[in-house]
Chain A
Protein backbone atom coordinates (compact mmCIF):
# COMPACT_ATOMS: atom_id res chain seq x y z
CA UNK A 1 0.00 0.00 0.00
CA UNK A 2 1.23 3.49 -0.82
CA UNK A 3 1.23 5.92 2.11
CA UNK A 4 1.96 8.94 -0.06
CA UNK A 5 0.58 9.27 -3.52
CA UNK A 6 0.45 12.19 -5.89
CA UNK A 7 -1.63 11.92 -9.02
CA UNK A 8 -0.89 14.44 -11.78
CA UNK A 9 -0.21 16.95 -9.01
CA UNK A 10 0.21 20.39 -10.55
CA UNK A 11 0.77 23.88 -9.22
CA UNK A 12 0.78 26.95 -11.42
CA UNK A 13 1.49 30.54 -10.40
CA UNK A 14 0.17 32.51 -13.36
CA UNK A 15 2.14 31.29 -16.35
CA UNK A 16 4.82 29.65 -14.17
CA UNK A 17 4.36 25.92 -13.72
CA UNK A 18 6.04 25.18 -10.39
CA UNK A 19 5.06 21.50 -10.33
CA UNK A 20 4.00 19.79 -13.52
CA UNK A 21 1.73 16.71 -13.41
CA UNK A 22 3.73 14.94 -10.71
CA UNK A 23 3.01 11.24 -10.22
CA UNK A 24 4.67 9.75 -7.15
CA UNK A 25 4.13 6.81 -4.84
CA UNK A 26 5.94 6.13 -1.59
CA UNK A 27 5.49 2.84 0.27
CA UNK A 28 5.16 2.45 4.03
CA UNK A 29 8.45 2.52 5.95
CA UNK A 30 10.54 3.95 3.11
CA UNK A 31 12.73 7.02 3.17
CA UNK A 32 11.97 8.79 -0.07
CA UNK A 33 14.39 11.53 -1.10
CA UNK A 34 13.18 14.26 -3.40
CA UNK A 35 16.27 15.64 -5.03
CA UNK A 36 16.64 18.70 -7.19
CA UNK A 37 18.21 22.15 -7.46
CA UNK A 38 16.77 25.22 -5.76
CA UNK A 39 13.54 26.28 -7.45
CA UNK A 40 12.91 22.84 -8.96
CA UNK A 41 9.52 22.48 -7.25
CA UNK A 42 10.46 20.39 -4.20
CA UNK A 43 9.06 22.71 -1.55
CA UNK A 44 5.91 23.42 -3.55
CA UNK A 45 5.34 19.67 -3.77
CA UNK A 46 5.78 19.27 -0.01
CA UNK A 47 3.44 22.21 0.63
CA UNK A 48 0.76 20.54 -1.51
CA UNK A 49 1.27 17.17 0.16
CA UNK A 50 1.03 18.72 3.63
CA UNK A 51 -1.98 20.94 2.99
CA UNK A 52 -0.25 24.31 3.00
CA UNK A 53 -0.82 25.00 -0.68
CA UNK A 54 -3.86 24.13 -2.75
CA UNK A 55 -2.94 22.28 -5.98
CA UNK A 56 -4.04 23.82 -9.28
CA UNK A 57 -5.00 20.31 -10.39
CA UNK A 58 -4.32 16.69 -9.49
CA UNK A 59 -4.50 14.93 -6.16
CA UNK A 60 -2.35 14.55 -3.05
CA UNK A 61 -3.35 11.41 -1.16
CA UNK A 62 -2.02 10.59 2.30
CA UNK A 63 -2.81 7.15 3.70
CA UNK A 64 -5.78 7.07 1.31
CA UNK A 65 -7.10 10.48 2.48
CA UNK A 66 -7.30 13.19 -0.15
CA UNK A 67 -5.56 16.28 1.24
CA UNK A 68 -8.07 18.70 -0.35
CA UNK A 69 -11.27 16.75 0.29
CA UNK A 70 -10.42 15.36 3.75
CA UNK A 71 -7.75 17.72 5.10
CA UNK A 72 -8.31 17.03 8.81
CA UNK A 73 -7.97 13.24 8.40
CA UNK A 74 -5.03 13.59 6.02
CA UNK A 75 -3.23 16.02 8.36
CA UNK A 76 -3.66 13.59 11.27
CA UNK A 77 -1.37 11.15 9.45
CA UNK A 78 1.57 13.49 9.03
CA UNK A 79 4.31 15.33 10.86
CA UNK A 80 6.14 18.12 9.07
CA UNK A 81 9.62 19.57 9.47
CA UNK A 82 9.63 22.75 7.42
CA UNK A 83 12.55 24.22 5.57
CA UNK A 84 12.34 27.28 7.79
CA UNK A 85 13.12 27.20 11.47
CA UNK A 86 9.50 27.72 12.46
CA UNK A 87 9.70 26.81 16.12
CA UNK A 88 8.23 29.56 18.26
CA UNK A 89 11.18 31.48 19.66
CA UNK A 90 8.97 33.21 22.24
CA UNK A 91 8.13 29.86 23.83
CA UNK A 92 10.30 27.31 25.64
CA UNK A 93 10.92 23.93 24.05
CA UNK A 94 8.36 22.31 26.35
CA UNK A 95 5.78 24.97 25.47
CA UNK A 96 6.44 24.48 21.76
CA UNK A 97 5.86 20.76 22.12
CA UNK A 98 2.81 21.24 24.34
CA UNK A 99 1.27 23.57 21.76
CA UNK A 100 1.85 20.99 19.05
CA UNK A 101 0.32 18.25 21.20
CA UNK A 102 -2.73 20.41 21.86
CA UNK A 103 -3.10 21.17 18.15
CA UNK A 104 -3.15 17.41 17.57
CA UNK A 105 -5.68 16.78 20.38
CA UNK A 106 -3.29 14.59 22.37
CA UNK A 107 -4.49 13.43 25.74
CA UNK A 108 -2.67 15.44 28.44
CA UNK A 109 -0.96 12.60 30.33
CA UNK A 110 0.24 10.91 27.15
CA UNK A 111 1.37 14.24 25.76
CA UNK A 112 3.49 15.12 28.78
CA UNK A 113 5.10 11.64 28.84
CA UNK A 114 5.89 11.85 25.15
CA UNK A 115 7.36 15.35 25.53
CA UNK A 116 9.72 14.06 28.20
CA UNK A 117 10.70 11.03 26.11
CA UNK A 118 11.39 13.08 22.97
CA UNK A 119 13.32 15.83 24.74
CA UNK A 120 15.64 13.13 26.07
CA UNK A 121 15.81 11.53 22.62
CA UNK A 122 16.95 14.83 21.08
CA UNK A 123 19.29 15.68 23.99
CA UNK A 124 17.28 18.80 24.80
CA UNK A 125 15.95 17.85 28.23
CA UNK A 126 18.37 20.11 30.11
CA UNK A 127 17.20 23.11 28.06
CA UNK A 128 13.49 22.28 28.28
CA UNK A 129 12.48 25.46 30.12
CA UNK A 130 14.65 27.89 28.19
CA UNK A 131 13.25 30.15 25.51
CA UNK A 132 13.95 28.73 22.07
CA UNK A 133 15.42 32.08 20.96
CA UNK A 134 18.54 31.10 22.97
CA UNK A 135 18.99 27.82 21.00
CA UNK A 136 21.57 27.18 18.27
CA UNK A 137 20.44 26.34 14.71
CA UNK A 138 21.07 22.62 15.27
CA UNK A 139 19.08 22.59 18.51
CA UNK A 140 16.16 24.36 16.86
CA UNK A 141 16.27 21.82 14.04
CA UNK A 142 16.28 18.90 16.50
CA UNK A 143 13.34 20.48 18.31
CA UNK A 144 11.47 20.82 15.01
CA UNK A 145 12.04 17.16 14.28
CA UNK A 146 10.81 15.90 17.65
CA UNK A 147 7.88 18.30 17.50
CA UNK A 148 6.85 16.70 14.20
CA UNK A 149 7.13 13.27 15.84
CA UNK A 150 5.24 14.15 19.03
CA UNK A 151 1.85 12.86 17.92
CA UNK A 152 3.43 9.68 16.47
CA UNK A 153 2.61 10.36 12.82
CA UNK A 154 2.83 7.55 10.31
CA UNK A 155 4.45 9.83 7.77
CA UNK A 156 7.11 12.46 8.31
CA UNK A 157 7.75 15.19 5.76
CA UNK A 158 11.12 16.91 6.03
CA UNK A 159 11.87 19.83 3.75
CA UNK A 160 15.64 20.32 3.48
CA UNK A 161 16.18 19.04 7.03
CA UNK A 162 19.87 19.91 7.20
CA UNK A 163 20.07 23.07 5.14
CA UNK A 164 22.33 25.69 6.70
CA UNK A 165 23.75 23.33 9.34
CA UNK A 166 27.42 22.59 9.93
CA UNK A 167 28.74 19.13 8.89
CA UNK A 168 28.75 17.68 12.41
CA UNK A 169 25.19 18.82 13.16
CA UNK A 170 24.14 17.49 9.77
CA UNK A 171 25.47 14.05 10.69
CA UNK A 172 23.68 14.23 14.05
CA UNK A 173 20.42 14.93 12.21
CA UNK A 174 21.09 12.02 9.84
CA UNK A 175 21.51 9.73 12.84
CA UNK A 176 18.21 11.03 14.20
CA UNK A 177 16.49 10.37 10.86
CA UNK A 178 17.82 6.78 10.78
CA UNK A 179 16.48 6.21 14.28
CA UNK A 180 13.08 7.55 13.19
CA UNK A 181 13.04 5.18 10.22
CA UNK A 182 13.66 2.24 12.58
CA UNK A 183 10.37 3.08 14.29
CA UNK A 184 8.56 2.27 11.02
CA UNK A 185 7.75 5.86 10.08
CA UNK A 186 7.62 6.68 6.37
CA UNK A 187 9.83 9.65 5.57
CA UNK A 188 9.52 11.99 2.62
CA UNK A 189 12.45 14.37 2.53
CA UNK A 190 13.61 16.97 0.08
CA UNK A 191 17.24 17.83 -0.30
CA UNK A 192 19.70 19.30 -2.72
CA UNK A 193 22.59 17.57 -0.96
CA UNK A 194 23.66 14.54 -3.00
CA UNK A 195 25.47 12.98 -0.05
CA UNK A 196 22.34 13.25 2.08
CA UNK A 197 20.17 11.53 -0.52
CA UNK A 198 22.72 8.76 -1.05
CA UNK A 199 23.27 8.17 2.65
CA UNK A 200 19.70 8.16 3.86
CA UNK A 201 17.24 7.34 1.13
CA UNK A 202 15.83 4.00 0.04
CA UNK A 203 14.37 5.62 -3.01
CA UNK A 204 14.98 8.95 -4.71
CA UNK A 205 13.04 11.02 -7.19
CA UNK A 206 14.83 13.69 -9.15
CA UNK A 207 12.86 16.80 -10.04
CA UNK A 208 13.88 19.60 -12.34
CA UNK A 209 11.81 22.56 -13.49
CA UNK A 210 8.71 21.09 -11.92
CA UNK A 211 8.95 17.72 -13.66
CA UNK A 212 9.98 14.39 -12.20
CA UNK A 213 12.80 13.27 -14.48
CA UNK A 214 13.64 9.94 -12.89
CA UNK A 215 13.10 7.85 -9.77
CA UNK A 216 14.54 4.69 -8.30
CA UNK A 217 16.93 3.15 -5.79
CA UNK A 218 20.05 5.39 -5.59
CA UNK A 219 22.51 2.54 -6.35
CA UNK A 220 20.42 1.22 -9.20
CA UNK A 221 20.13 4.65 -10.75
CA UNK A 222 23.87 5.33 -10.66
CA UNK A 223 24.77 1.81 -11.76
CA UNK A 224 22.45 2.12 -14.73
CA UNK A 225 24.79 4.87 -15.95
CA UNK A 226 27.91 2.88 -15.11
CA UNK A 227 29.37 2.51 -11.61
CA UNK A 228 32.52 4.50 -12.50
CA UNK A 229 32.69 8.05 -13.77
CA UNK A 230 35.56 9.52 -15.66
CA UNK A 231 35.51 13.28 -15.39
CA UNK A 232 37.59 14.94 -18.10
CA UNK A 233 38.52 18.52 -17.35
CA UNK A 234 39.77 20.56 -20.28
CA UNK A 235 40.16 24.36 -20.33
CA UNK A 236 38.11 24.59 -17.10
CA UNK A 237 35.17 22.65 -18.48
CA UNK A 238 34.15 19.16 -17.38
CA UNK A 239 32.73 16.33 -19.43
CA UNK A 240 31.76 12.92 -18.13
CA UNK A 241 31.95 9.33 -19.34
CA UNK A 242 30.64 6.28 -17.52
CA UNK A 243 32.19 2.82 -17.29
CA UNK A 244 31.47 -0.59 -15.82
CA UNK A 245 34.94 -0.92 -14.27
CA UNK A 246 37.63 1.47 -13.04
CA UNK A 247 40.11 -0.23 -15.44
CA UNK A 248 38.01 0.68 -18.47
CA UNK A 249 37.92 4.29 -17.28
CA UNK A 250 41.69 4.26 -16.68
CA UNK A 251 42.37 2.92 -20.18
CA UNK A 252 40.37 5.80 -21.57
CA UNK A 253 42.74 8.29 -19.95
CA UNK A 254 45.64 6.88 -21.98
CA UNK A 255 43.98 8.21 -25.11
CA UNK A 256 43.82 11.74 -23.64
CA UNK A 257 46.07 14.71 -24.41
CA UNK A 258 48.32 16.77 -22.11
CA UNK A 259 45.79 19.58 -21.75
CA UNK A 260 43.30 17.28 -20.09
CA UNK A 261 42.97 16.39 -16.42
CA UNK A 262 41.18 13.22 -15.34
CA UNK A 263 39.28 12.14 -12.27
CA UNK A 264 38.03 8.58 -11.85
CA UNK A 265 35.47 7.97 -9.09
CA UNK A 266 32.29 6.13 -8.22
CA UNK A 267 29.25 7.50 -10.04
CA UNK A 268 26.95 9.53 -7.80
CA UNK A 269 23.52 11.11 -8.09
CA UNK A 270 25.08 14.44 -9.05
CA UNK A 271 26.55 12.74 -12.15
CA UNK A 272 23.12 11.31 -12.91
CA UNK A 273 21.54 14.75 -12.58
CA UNK A 274 24.15 16.30 -14.90
CA UNK A 275 23.67 13.45 -17.36
CA UNK A 276 19.89 14.00 -17.41
CA UNK A 277 19.76 17.80 -17.39
CA UNK A 278 23.17 19.04 -18.50
CA UNK A 279 23.39 21.10 -15.29
CA UNK A 280 24.65 20.64 -11.75
CA UNK A 281 22.13 20.14 -8.97
CA UNK A 282 23.84 22.97 -7.08
CA UNK A 283 23.39 25.54 -9.88
Chain B
Protein backbone atom coordinates (compact mmCIF):
# COMPACT_ATOMS: atom_id res chain seq x y z
CA UNK B 1 0.00 0.00 0.00
CA UNK B 2 3.04 2.29 0.34
CA UNK B 3 3.24 2.37 -3.44
CA UNK B 4 -0.39 3.51 -3.69
CA UNK B 5 0.31 6.22 -1.14
CA UNK B 6 3.33 7.42 -3.14
CA UNK B 7 1.37 7.66 -6.38
CA UNK B 8 -1.51 9.39 -4.61
CA UNK B 9 1.03 11.80 -3.06
CA UNK B 10 2.33 12.72 -6.53
CA UNK B 11 -1.13 13.27 -7.95
CA UNK B 12 -2.25 15.36 -5.00
CA UNK B 13 0.79 17.68 -5.14
CA UNK B 14 -0.06 18.49 -8.75
CA UNK B 15 -3.76 18.69 -7.92
CA UNK B 16 -3.09 21.22 -5.14
CA UNK B 17 -0.77 23.21 -7.37
CA UNK B 18 -3.51 23.55 -10.02
CA UNK B 19 -6.49 23.81 -7.68
CA UNK B 20 -7.62 27.27 -8.82
CA UNK B 21 -7.75 26.29 -12.48
CA UNK B 22 -9.32 22.95 -11.62
CA UNK B 23 -12.17 24.51 -9.61
CA UNK B 24 -12.82 27.02 -12.39
CA UNK B 25 -12.91 24.38 -15.11
CA UNK B 26 -14.96 21.91 -13.01
CA UNK B 27 -17.51 24.64 -12.29
CA UNK B 28 -18.07 25.88 -15.81
CA UNK B 29 -19.74 22.90 -17.42
CA UNK B 30 -22.25 22.19 -14.60
CA UNK B 31 -23.01 25.89 -14.37
CA UNK B 32 -23.88 25.98 -18.08
CA UNK B 33 -26.06 22.89 -17.72
CA UNK B 34 -27.82 24.41 -14.73
CA UNK B 35 -28.40 27.70 -16.54
CA UNK B 36 -29.55 26.13 -19.81
CA UNK B 37 -31.67 23.30 -18.45
CA UNK B 38 -32.32 24.61 -14.96
CA UNK B 39 -33.41 28.17 -15.60
CA UNK B 40 -34.53 27.37 -19.11
CA UNK B 41 -36.93 24.56 -18.30
CA UNK B 42 -36.41 23.69 -14.66
CA UNK B 43 -39.65 24.89 -13.17
CA UNK B 44 -41.86 24.38 -16.18
CA UNK B 45 -41.46 20.62 -16.45
CA UNK B 46 -41.96 17.80 -14.08
CA UNK B 47 -40.26 14.43 -14.64
CA UNK B 48 -41.25 11.40 -12.58
CA UNK B 49 -43.17 13.73 -10.30
CA UNK B 50 -40.38 16.23 -9.50
CA UNK B 51 -39.22 19.56 -10.99
CA UNK B 52 -36.93 18.94 -13.94
CA UNK B 53 -33.98 20.72 -12.33
CA UNK B 54 -34.23 18.55 -9.20
CA UNK B 55 -34.46 15.51 -11.50
CA UNK B 56 -31.47 16.67 -13.50
CA UNK B 57 -29.00 17.49 -10.70
CA UNK B 58 -28.33 13.84 -9.67
CA UNK B 59 -27.79 13.05 -13.36
CA UNK B 60 -25.38 15.94 -13.55
CA UNK B 61 -23.62 14.58 -10.45
CA UNK B 62 -23.31 11.16 -12.08
CA UNK B 63 -22.06 12.57 -15.37
CA UNK B 64 -19.65 15.12 -13.96
CA UNK B 65 -18.11 12.78 -11.39
CA UNK B 66 -17.78 10.14 -14.10
CA UNK B 67 -16.04 12.53 -16.48
CA UNK B 68 -13.59 13.88 -13.95
CA UNK B 69 -12.79 10.48 -12.44
CA UNK B 70 -12.35 8.96 -15.86
CA UNK B 71 -10.13 11.88 -16.79
CA UNK B 72 -7.35 10.12 -14.84
CA UNK B 73 -6.98 8.17 -18.11
CA UNK B 74 -5.75 11.29 -19.91
CA UNK B 75 -3.36 12.09 -17.07
CA UNK B 76 -1.91 8.56 -17.18
CA UNK B 77 -1.76 8.75 -20.94
CA UNK B 78 0.35 11.91 -20.83
CA UNK B 79 2.49 10.42 -18.06
CA UNK B 80 3.06 7.29 -20.15
CA UNK B 81 3.55 8.57 -23.66
CA UNK B 82 4.71 12.16 -23.28
CA UNK B 83 6.60 12.60 -20.01
CA UNK B 84 7.43 8.89 -19.49
CA UNK B 85 6.81 9.45 -15.77
CA UNK B 86 4.73 6.30 -15.56
CA UNK B 87 7.89 4.23 -16.14
CA UNK B 88 9.05 5.34 -12.69
CA UNK B 89 5.99 3.62 -11.18
CA UNK B 90 6.40 0.53 -13.34
CA UNK B 91 10.06 0.10 -12.39
CA UNK B 92 9.41 0.54 -8.67
CA UNK B 93 9.18 -2.55 -6.43
CA UNK B 94 5.44 -2.21 -5.96
CA UNK B 95 2.52 -4.37 -7.03
CA UNK B 96 0.23 -3.52 -9.96
CA UNK B 97 -2.66 -3.18 -7.51
CA UNK B 98 -0.73 -0.43 -5.67
CA UNK B 99 -0.36 1.51 -8.90
CA UNK B 100 -4.06 1.07 -9.65
CA UNK B 101 -5.17 2.08 -6.15
CA UNK B 102 -2.97 5.20 -6.18
CA UNK B 103 -4.41 6.32 -9.50
CA UNK B 104 -7.98 5.44 -8.48
CA UNK B 105 -7.54 7.50 -5.29
CA UNK B 106 -6.51 10.50 -7.37
CA UNK B 107 -9.40 9.98 -9.80
CA UNK B 108 -11.86 9.74 -6.92
CA UNK B 109 -10.67 13.03 -5.42
CA UNK B 110 -11.26 14.74 -8.76
CA UNK B 111 -14.68 13.18 -9.21
CA UNK B 112 -15.72 14.03 -5.67
CA UNK B 113 -14.54 17.63 -6.02
CA UNK B 114 -16.67 18.05 -9.14
CA UNK B 115 -19.66 16.60 -7.24
CA UNK B 116 -19.06 18.95 -4.33
CA UNK B 117 -19.03 21.91 -6.71
CA UNK B 118 -22.42 20.86 -8.16
CA UNK B 119 -23.87 20.47 -4.68
CA UNK B 120 -22.65 23.98 -3.87
CA UNK B 121 -24.12 25.40 -7.07
CA UNK B 122 -27.51 23.69 -6.77
CA UNK B 123 -28.97 26.03 -4.09
CA UNK B 124 -28.27 28.99 -6.41
CA UNK B 125 -30.95 27.47 -8.66
CA UNK B 126 -33.44 27.07 -5.83
CA UNK B 127 -32.87 23.37 -5.44
CA UNK B 128 -32.64 22.12 -1.90
CA UNK B 129 -30.03 19.44 -1.56
CA UNK B 130 -30.25 16.32 0.55
CA UNK B 131 -26.89 14.89 1.40
CA UNK B 132 -27.32 11.51 3.01
CA UNK B 133 -25.29 8.39 3.61
CA UNK B 134 -26.35 6.66 0.42
CA UNK B 135 -25.66 9.71 -1.73
CA UNK B 136 -22.08 9.73 -0.44
CA UNK B 137 -21.70 5.97 -0.88
CA UNK B 138 -23.07 6.17 -4.44
CA UNK B 139 -20.70 9.02 -5.30
CA UNK B 140 -17.76 7.07 -3.86
CA UNK B 141 -18.75 4.02 -5.88
CA UNK B 142 -19.28 6.02 -9.06
CA UNK B 143 -15.91 7.73 -8.81
CA UNK B 144 -14.14 4.47 -7.90
CA UNK B 145 -15.78 2.66 -10.81
CA UNK B 146 -14.89 5.24 -13.46
CA UNK B 147 -11.38 5.88 -12.12
CA UNK B 148 -10.73 2.15 -12.44
CA UNK B 149 -12.21 2.21 -15.96
CA UNK B 150 -9.89 5.15 -16.71
CA UNK B 151 -6.84 3.13 -15.64
CA UNK B 152 -7.91 0.23 -17.89
CA UNK B 153 -8.32 2.45 -20.93
CA UNK B 154 -5.09 4.36 -20.22
CA UNK B 155 -3.12 1.11 -20.11
CA UNK B 156 -4.78 -0.34 -23.21
CA UNK B 157 -4.56 2.55 -25.65
CA UNK B 158 -1.45 2.97 -27.75
CA UNK B 159 -1.77 6.66 -28.62
CA UNK B 160 -3.47 9.87 -27.51
CA UNK B 161 -5.75 9.52 -30.54
CA UNK B 162 -7.04 6.14 -29.29
CA UNK B 163 -7.84 7.76 -25.97
CA UNK B 164 -9.70 10.58 -27.65
CA UNK B 165 -11.65 8.13 -29.81
CA UNK B 166 -12.74 6.17 -26.74
CA UNK B 167 -14.00 9.36 -25.11
CA UNK B 168 -15.91 10.34 -28.26
CA UNK B 169 -17.50 6.97 -28.95
CA UNK B 170 -18.08 5.62 -25.43
CA UNK B 171 -17.93 8.25 -22.71
CA UNK B 172 -19.84 11.05 -24.48
CA UNK B 173 -22.78 8.85 -25.63
CA UNK B 174 -22.94 7.28 -22.17
CA UNK B 175 -23.11 10.75 -20.62
CA UNK B 176 -26.38 11.43 -22.39
CA UNK B 177 -28.02 8.02 -22.77
CA UNK B 178 -27.89 6.71 -19.22
CA UNK B 179 -30.79 8.53 -17.66
CA UNK B 180 -28.74 11.52 -16.69
CA UNK B 181 -31.01 14.17 -18.21
CA UNK B 182 -34.26 12.33 -18.92
CA UNK B 183 -36.23 9.40 -17.66
CA UNK B 184 -35.07 6.08 -19.03
CA UNK B 185 -38.74 5.15 -19.44
CA UNK B 186 -38.85 7.49 -22.43
CA UNK B 187 -36.33 5.35 -24.32
CA UNK B 188 -37.38 2.78 -26.92
CA UNK B 189 -37.36 -0.72 -25.45
CA UNK B 190 -34.11 -1.80 -27.09
CA UNK B 191 -32.21 1.29 -25.92
CA UNK B 192 -33.74 0.89 -22.47
CA UNK B 193 -32.27 -2.62 -22.27
CA UNK B 194 -28.88 -1.54 -23.65
CA UNK B 195 -28.74 1.36 -21.17
CA UNK B 196 -28.93 -1.11 -18.30
CA UNK B 197 -25.70 -2.71 -19.45
CA UNK B 198 -23.93 0.65 -19.02
CA UNK B 199 -22.56 1.50 -15.57
CA UNK B 200 -23.58 5.15 -15.62
CA UNK B 201 -27.26 4.16 -15.83
CA UNK B 202 -27.03 2.51 -12.43
CA UNK B 203 -25.13 5.47 -10.98
CA UNK B 204 -27.82 7.85 -12.24
CA UNK B 205 -30.60 5.72 -10.79
CA UNK B 206 -28.90 5.32 -7.41
CA UNK B 207 -27.82 8.95 -7.12
CA UNK B 208 -31.28 10.20 -8.09
CA UNK B 209 -32.99 7.94 -5.57
CA UNK B 210 -30.57 9.08 -2.84
CA UNK B 211 -30.86 12.74 -3.80
CA UNK B 212 -34.66 12.66 -3.85
CA UNK B 213 -34.83 10.64 -0.62
CA UNK B 214 -36.43 7.67 -2.34
CA UNK B 215 -35.76 3.98 -1.84
CA UNK B 216 -32.42 2.92 -3.26
CA UNK B 217 -32.80 0.67 -6.34
CA UNK B 218 -31.05 -2.35 -4.91
CA UNK B 219 -30.38 -4.00 -8.28
CA UNK B 220 -28.57 -0.89 -9.52
CA UNK B 221 -26.64 -0.57 -6.28
CA UNK B 222 -25.43 -4.17 -6.62
CA UNK B 223 -24.60 -3.48 -10.27
CA UNK B 224 -22.43 -0.51 -9.22
CA UNK B 225 -20.53 -2.70 -6.76
CA UNK B 226 -20.17 -5.38 -9.44
CA UNK B 227 -18.89 -2.92 -12.06
CA UNK B 228 -16.46 -1.46 -9.49
CA UNK B 229 -14.97 -4.87 -8.69
CA UNK B 230 -14.85 -5.84 -12.35
CA UNK B 231 -13.12 -2.62 -13.41
CA UNK B 232 -10.64 -2.82 -10.52
CA UNK B 233 -9.73 -6.36 -11.53
CA UNK B 234 -9.44 -5.26 -15.16
CA UNK B 235 -7.22 -2.32 -14.22
CA UNK B 236 -4.83 -4.55 -12.24
CA UNK B 237 -4.64 -6.99 -15.15
CA UNK B 238 -4.06 -4.14 -17.62
CA UNK B 239 -1.14 -2.81 -15.54
CA UNK B 240 0.26 -6.35 -15.18
CA UNK B 241 0.11 -6.88 -18.92
CA UNK B 242 1.98 -3.71 -19.70
CA UNK B 243 5.04 -4.64 -17.61
CA UNK B 244 6.54 -7.88 -16.34
A pairs with B: yes
Contacts known (A51-B244, A54-B244); A73 close to B83, Cβ less than 8 A: no
Tell me which residues across on chain B come within 8 A of A52, comparing CB atoms.
87, 90-91, 243-244
Best-buried of A78, A88, A89, A102 by chain B (most CB within 10 Å): A102
Tell me which residues across on chain A come within 8 A of B85, comparing CB atoms.
86, 88
Q: B9 in the interface, Cβ–Cβ < 8 Å?
A: yes
Contact of A80 with B91 in the complex, beta carbons under 8 Å = yes
- Contact among A73, A82, A102 for B6, CB-based, below 8 A: A102
- Contact among A54, A98, A104 for B93, CB-based, below 8 A: A104
Q: B192 in the interface, Cβ–Cβ < 8 Å?
A: no
Q: A100 in the interface, Cβ–Cβ < 8 Å?
A: yes
Minimum CB–CB distance from B71 to chain A (whole Å) comes to 16
Bound-state CA distance A75–B95 (Å) is 11
Contacts known (A90-B14, A91-B13); A72 close to B95, Cβ less than 8 A: yes
Bound-state CA distance A258–B9 (Å) is 71
Bound-state CA distance A91–B92 (Å) is 18
Q: B89 in the interface, Cβ–Cβ < 8 Å?
A: yes
Task: Tell me which residues from 50 to 105 in chain B have a Cβ below 8 Å from any Cβ of chain A.
Answer: 83-85, 87-95
Tell me which residues across on chain B come within 8 A of A89, comparing CB atoms.
83
Contacts known (A51-B244, A90-B14, A99-B9); A105 close to B2, Cβ less than 8 A: yes
Bound-state CA distance A53–B87 (Å) is 11
Contact of B9 with A76 in the complex, beta carbons under 8 Å = no
Contact of A82 with B92 in the complex, beta carbons under 8 Å = no
Minimum CB–CB distance from A48 to chain B (whole Å) comes to 8
Tell me which residues across on chain A come within 8 A of B3, comparing CB atoms.
102-103, 105
Contact of B14 with A51 in the complex, beta carbons under 8 Å = no
Contact of A72 with B93 in the complex, beta carbons under 8 Å = yes
- Contact among A50, A91, A95 for B91, CB-based, below 8 A: A50
Contact of A71 with B244 in the complex, beta carbons under 8 Å = yes
Closest residue of B by beta carbon distance from A84: B84
Chain A binding surface SS class: loop
Contact of A86 with B244 in the complex, beta carbons under 8 Å = no
Minimum CB–CB distance from B100 to chain A (whole Å) comes to 14
Contacts known (A52-B243, A54-B243, A72-B94); A82 close to B87, Cβ less than 8 A: yes
Bound-state CA distance A102–B4 (Å) is 9
Tell me which residues across on chain A come within 8 A of B10, comparing CB atoms.
88, 91, 95, 99
Tell me which residues across on chain B come within 8 A of A51, comparing CB atoms.
90-91, 243-244
Q: B196 in the interface, Cβ–Cβ < 8 Å?
A: no
Tell me which residues across on chain A come within 8 A of B2, comparing CB atoms.
102-103, 105
Contact of A82 with B84 in the complex, beta carbons under 8 Å = yes
Q: A17 in the interface, Cβ–Cβ < 8 Å?
A: no
Contacts known (A102-B6, A102-B9, A103-B3); A86 close to B243, Cβ less than 8 A: no
Q: A68 in the interface, Cβ–Cβ < 8 Å?
A: yes
Q: B17 in the interface, Cβ–Cβ < 8 Å?
A: yes
Task: Tell me which residues from 129 to 181 in chain B have a Cβ below 8 Å from any Cβ of chain A.
Answer: none
Closest CB pairs A-B (n = 3): A102-B6, A103-B92, A86-B84
The chain B residues found within 8 Å of chain A, CB to CB, are: 2-3, 5-7, 9-10, 13-14, 17, 83-85, 87-95, 243-244
Listed A/B pairs (12) with beta-carbon separation below 8 Å? A51-B90, A54-B244, A72-B93, A76-B93, A84-B84, A88-B85, A91-B13, A95-B10, A99-B6, A99-B10, A102-B9, A103-B93
Known A-B contacts: A91-B14, A98-B9. Give 4 more (CB < 8 A).
Answer: A52-B91, A53-B243, A73-B93, A84-B87
